[in-house]
Homo-oligomer: A and B are copies of this chain.
Amino acid sequence: MTPRPAVVLLSGGLDSATVLAMARQQGYICHTLSLDYGQRHRSELDAAAALSPLLGAVRHNVVRLDLTLFGGSALTDASISVPTAGPGEPTGAGIPVTYVPARNTIMLALALAKAETIGACDVFFGANAVDYSGYPDCRPAYVAAFEALANLATKAAVEGARMNIHAPIIDLSKAQIIARGHALGVDYSRTVSCYQADAAGRACGVCDSCRLRSAGFAAAGIKDPTRYQHSA
């Protein structure tokens, strides 16, 4: 096909880096977008900026938006602790305290704005319903609802284009995501998944996100290249 532009939401984590590699493999000219929403783990933003050109995107934008104004999540509110159950132990049922209110809706809305301004009809998004089953805005029905909205919301859609919200890893396990990205040459040592990574991007190894990631490498049979704050 003729190369077409796409917007790829890139957090700097393992999932969205894999999604960028998948979009590139499909031939899209990728414009990446990160949201600086006052998250604790600032080094993931540095990781996103470095990963974007490494994985073949043509442009990277960071949108600043202060969600700490709203609070309500362990990732944006300093008064709520990040859960650090022992490795392998669940941190509790239901929606985790790391859920950021309406974050994915905000990020997809920004991606839609970016798509409109560059004439793109495709947005790629690293939602995952397997590992993040407690997050309402990581479910396939949510992505379908946003795609329906995008097809009513935009100038492009009114003028006859079809807007597509791609969530290519939504049904994959962490191990499957890692295997896919590994085959596409993603250097996972450059990605930051930890909710409380240090300034150098080194992971804590104990938060929910670290435990999921570490178990994913083990299950995929691929050596974990993550840089940890405390070597085991």
Partner of A63, one of B69, B112, B158: B69
Contact with B along A55-74 (1 / 0, CB 8 A): 00000010111110111100
**In the docked arrangement, what's the CA distance between A154 and B141, Å?**
12
- Known contacts A61-B69, A67-B113; decide if A101 and B154 are in contact (CB<8 Å): yes
A117 within 8 Å of B (CB atoms): yes
Check A136 against B117 for contact (C-beta < 8 Å).
no
Nearest residue, chain B, Cβ from A71: B117
Contact with B along A112-128 (1 / 0, CB 8 A): 11101100000000000
For A100, list chain B residues within 8 Å (CB).
113
Nearest residue, chain B, Cβ from A137: B153
A29 within 8 Å of B (CB atoms): no
A129 within 8 Å of B (CB atoms): no
Q: How many identical chains are in the complex?
A: 2
Nearest residue, chain B, Cβ from A136: B158
A146 within 8 Å of B (CB atoms): yes
A229 within 8 Å of B (CB atoms): no
Contacting B at CB under 8 A, from A36-66, are 61, 63-66
Nearest residue, chain B, Cβ from A139: B152
**In the docked arrangement, what's the CA distance between A158 and B94, Å?**
10
Between A and B, 20 residue pairs with Cβ closer than 8 Å are A63-B66, A65-B65, A101-B112, A101-B113, A101-B155, A102-B113, A102-B116, A102-B154, A105-B149, A105-B150, A106-B109, A106-B110, A106-B113, A108-B109, A109-B109, A136-B155, A136-B157, A136-B158, A137-B154, A148-B149
Which residues of A does B touch, CB under 8 Å? Answer: 61, 63-67, 69-72, 95, 99-106, 108-110, 112-114, 116-117, 136-137, 139, 141-142, 145-146, 148-150, 152-155, 157-158
